[in-house]
Amino acid sequence: MMPVSANVSAGFLVDRRLRIPVDPLCYAMVGLLAIMLRWPFFGHPAADCDEQIYQLIGERMLDGALPYIDIWDRKPIGLFLIFALANLIGGAGPLPYQILACVAAVGGGMLVYHLAKRFTDGMGALVAGMLYVLYLSVFEGRIGQTEVFFVPLLIAMASLTVRMFQTVDSDAVHRLGLFAMALGGVTLQIKYTALPQCILFGVLALARQVHLGIRPSVLATRCVIYGAAGLLPTGIAISIYTYIGHVDAYIYANFLSIFSRGVVDQAVTDNYLFHIIARSTPLFLAALVGVVNYISRVGRNTPLYLVIVGWTASAVTGSVMIGNFYIHYFSPIVPGLIILAAPALSRTWAGATLSALCLYSGFFLLAQEDRTAMAREDWQGYDKMLRAVAPYVAPERGECLYIFDGPTSLYRDTHSCLPTIYAYPDHLSNSVEVRSIGVDTSAEMARILKTRPAVIITASEHIVPSYNKATAAQVDRAVAQAYVRVGSYTNMRRMLYVNVRQDLLRAERPASPDSLVRRTSSSGAPDVRQARAGETTATYRKRVLAGRFALS
C-alpha cells in the first residue's frame, strides 16, 4: 500500500494529493452551525421583538413611508434599509431578512476565523469562528437583531487595523485606514453604539502612520479625510431629511430621544446584569487564559494583540454608553473576547479541552432558555391569533388593529392600517419611553383610542420592564367599556388577548359594498377583499379569512 502523505490543519486530515482546501471546509462548518442554530426560527413571524418593527418599517418604506415621519423608531435609517432590501429582493414576510441575518452571522464567523489564524493554528481558528455564531445566539442575536448586521463590519474593521500594523508602507496603511473608516460610517448607520470602536480604529490608523514617520501636515489632512469618510453616510441621511423639511424629526429620533429615556427599574437591571455576566463569563475566562498563553509563548504583548485588547475594551464602552443594560447590547464584546482567547484554543490537549468547555458552555446557556420550544409554541399561538384578528381588520373601511402589547408583525400579516406612527408597542407601553418619543404618550394614546380601533391586543403580563401606568390604564378602560375578548393566545410564556370592538360582534347586518382592494399576503399571494351586495358582515369576514389563509 502506498503511504498517504497528510497534513493536519484545522483539525482535518487533508490528503495532499487530493488538495482539499481547508478554508472552505471551515466555512462550511461555521455555516452549518449557524443554520442549525437559526433553523427553528426561519419563517417565524414573531420569534423576537425588535426585528418585527424593523421589518415593518422596511416594508412600509417600499410603499413610500418615511421613517421618523410616517412610522417612528430611533434606530438609524441604514438598519431599515437592510430590512427593506431583504424584502425587495426576497419578497414579503420574515424569511428574507432572517436569511440575510444568517448570512451576516456566517460572514462574521468567517472573519473571526481568519483574524484568529493570526494568533493560533487552524483548529483554534475554526473553534473561534464557531464560537462567534454560537455566542451571537447566546446574546440574543439568534434571528435579526441589530448587532447581527453591524458586528461583522466591526470585525472587518479590526482585521483591517491588524493589517495596518503588519504593513510598513504608509500609503498602504492610509488606504486601509480609509477603507476602515468608510466601513465605520456604514456601521454607524446601523447602530450608533459602534461609535467608540470606530473612533478607536481611526486613532489606531493615525497612530500607525505617526510610527511610520508621516509628516504632521499630511497626518492632519488624513485625519480630516477619515472623519469625513466616517460621517458621510450620516451626513447624507441628514441632508435628505433637511431637503424634505423633516430634519428636526430625524435629529430628535436619532440623536436626542435616547437620552430622554427613563431608567429601567433596579431589580430588572440586576436581572439583566446577572444574565449578561453569566453569558459572558465563559468567554472572559477563556480570554484570560488566551492572554496568559500568548504572553508565555511570545514573551510580550505584540501590537497586533494589543489592537484586539483595545477593540474589546471599546466594545464594552459602546455596550454601556447609553445607560440601560439589555443582553443583546453586549453582543459586540463577543468577537474580541474570542480572538483574545484564540491562542489558548490551539490544537493541543489543553487547547482542545478549553475549546470543548467554551462550546459546551454556549450550548448549555442556550438550552437554559429553551427558545426553540418556546418559538414552536409561540408560532402556533401566533397563527391562531392571526386567524382571530384578521376578519375584523379592514383598512379600506378604517377598521385598524392596535397593538398595545404583542407582536408588531400582526400589522403586516393582517394588512392593517397603522393607528399611530408609534407602531412599536414599547413606545407607548413601556415606562422607560414616557418622555422619549417626542410626544405626550397619554395624549397620543387618547388620540388612538378615539379612532376606535377594530381590535386591540393586550397581554396578561408585560414583557417590557414595566408598563407606562397612564397609557395602560387608558387601554384597560377602553377595553372594559367597548371591547369583548374573543381569544387568548400564548406568546413568550404569557397570554395575549384579542379584544374586538363590541359593535363588530353584534347581530349580523348587511355589509356595505366596498371597492376592490388587492393586497399581498405574507406569502406573496394576492388577497382580494370585496363585500358583496346584501352579504352579511359575518359572512363577509368568513369569506375573507378563508380566502386569505387558503391563498397563504
Cβ–Cβ under 8 Å, residues 188 and 195: yes
Considering its fold, how many domains does the chain have in total? 2
Q: Is residue 406 part of a domain?
A: yes
From 488, 506, 524, the end of a domain falls on 506
With a cut of 50, say whether residue 550 has pLDDT above it.
no
356 lies in the same domain as 387: no
The packing angle between helices 146-164 and 195-211, to 10°, is 10
Q: Is residue 548 part of a domain?
A: no
107 lies in the same domain as 166: yes
Q: Is residue 359 part of a domain?
A: yes
Domain that holds residue 29: 21-369
167 lies in the same domain as 298: yes
* Per-residue pLDDT tens digits for 147-203: 999 999 999 999 999 999 999 999 999 999 999 999 999 999 999 999 999 999 999
pLDDT at 5: 35
Q: Is residue 543 part of a domain?
A: no
418 lies in the same domain as 284: no
281 lies in the same domain as 216: yes
- b/e per residue 139-177 (b: at least 16 CB within 10 A): bbbbbbbbbbbbbbbbbbbbbbbbbbbeeeebeebbebb
Q: Is residue 15 part of a domain?
A: no
Q: Which residue has the cell 401606568?
A: 469
Cβ–Cβ under 8 Å, residues 375 and 40: yes
From 313, 337, 369, the end of a domain falls on 369
The whole-number average pLDDT for the span 348-361 is: 96
121 lies in the same domain as 33: yes
Q: Is residue 511 part of a domain?
A: no
From 323, 346, 369, the end of a domain falls on 369
* Residue whose C-alpha is closest to residue 70's, from 83, 78, 61: 61
305 lies in the same domain as 275: yes
* Per-residue pLDDT tens digits for 282-338: 999 999 999 999 998 886 668 899 999 999 999 999 999 987 889 999 999 999 999
383 lies in the same domain as 268: no
The whole-number average pLDDT for the span 212-219 is: 95
Cβ–Cβ under 8 Å, residues 56 and 33: no
SS3 assignment, position 172: helix
Q: Is residue 522 part of a domain?
A: no
111 lies in the same domain as 238: yes
Q: Is residue 515 part of a domain?
A: no
With a cut of 80, say whether residue 534 has pLDDT above it.
no
| pLDDT band (50, 70, 90) for residue 535 | very low
User: What length is written for the chain?
Assistant: 552
Planar angle of CA 318, 323, 325, nearest 5 degrees: 80
351 lies in the same domain as 461: no
* Per-residue pLDDT tens digits for 112-149: 999 999 999 999 999 999 999 999 999 999 999 999 99
Q: Which residue has the cell 418585527?
A: 52
- According to DSSP, the β-strands at 494-501 and 455-459 are antiparallel
118 lies in the same domain as 58: yes
| pLDDT band (50, 70, 90) for residue 86 | very high
pLDDT at 20: 55
37 lies in the same domain as 177: yes
pLDDT at 19: 54
Radius of gyration of the chain (CA): 26
**In this structure, is the dihedral angle defined by the CA atoms of residues 239, 244, 247 and 252, taken in order, positive or negative?**
negative
